[in-house]
A = this chain, B = another copy of it.
Amino acid sequence: MTENPTRQPSAGQTRRRGAVLEEAILRAAVDELTESGFAGLTMDKVAARAGTNKNAIYRRWPNRLALGIAAYRQLATTVQPPDTGDLRSDVLELLRGANRHWSSPLGAILRELLSAAGGTSELLAQLQEQSSDAAAAPWLTILGRAVARGEASPEALHPRVATVAVVLLRNEFVVRGAPTAPDDVLVEIVDEVYLPLVRRRDPAPN
């Protein structure tokens, strides 16, 4: 019952090749990933589910992690920046969205992958697009509007500054093992750190 092979083992089917097979493998990997997480993603199961064997997988991906990342990328979504007209509301909404994402099954998978990659730059780079760099864009967007409104300082339009809130939130997940961050924490990050940082600040007298 756990199996749902796309291809019947010995039906009179035609043998798949190239892109068709590749997609079938990737789809199988995605299914395994969503069902069992990365820890449960085994090459044998993916092969069986795709109705093929490990050879075909290893011909395309060098190892389990690479396959896992490729599969995850199929699931990634992009974030639409909110526009409530108020900086604090925008920030909170964006941050709550991030919290929801990392608390979701998909977020759990992302955390597993980050863990498994454990400092392997080449592979991490492929996850960053989904997790941090692409994540900088919406923050810059809402800050841009806030700057126009006079709510935020222009200095805040700097990726490192703009993303401080998400970085602090991610820290909660990485260092505490919490499955989800309580809303108090988000509010605290926003009110104690983020807003004081980005709000229009009068040039400090040396």
Interface residues of A (CB under 8 A from B): 111-112, 114-122, 124-125, 128, 131-132, 155, 158, 160-161, 164, 167-168, 170-171, 173-179, 188-189, 192-193, 196-197, 199-202, 204
Q: What are the 6 A-B residue pairs with the smallest beta carbon separation, nearest first?
A: A121-B177, A115-B118, A119-B177, A124-B177, A167-B171, A197-B197
Q: How far is the CA of A108 from the CA of B122 in the complex (A)?
A: 18
Tell whether, in the assembled complex, residue A128 and residue B175 are in contact, meaning their CB atoms are under 8 Å apart: yes
Main secondary structure of the interface of A (DSSP, over half): helix
Q: Which residues of B contact A115 (CB under 8 A)?
A: 115-116, 118-119
What is the distance, in angstroms, from A123's C-beta to the closest C-beta of chain B? Answer: 8
What is the distance, in angstroms, from A199's C-beta to the closest C-beta of chain B? Answer: 5
Tell whether, in the assembled complex, residue B114 and residue A119 are in contact, meaning their CB atoms are under 8 Å apart: no
For A112, A174, A202, which residue has the most chain B Cβ atoms within 10 angstroms? A174
Excluding A119-B177, A132-B175, A160-B193, 7 further A-B contacts by CB distance (< 8 Å) are A111-B119, A114-B175, A115-B115, A124-B176, A155-B196, A160-B168, A201-B204
Tell whether, in the assembled complex, residue A119 and residue B173 are in contact, meaning their CB atoms are under 8 Å apart: yes
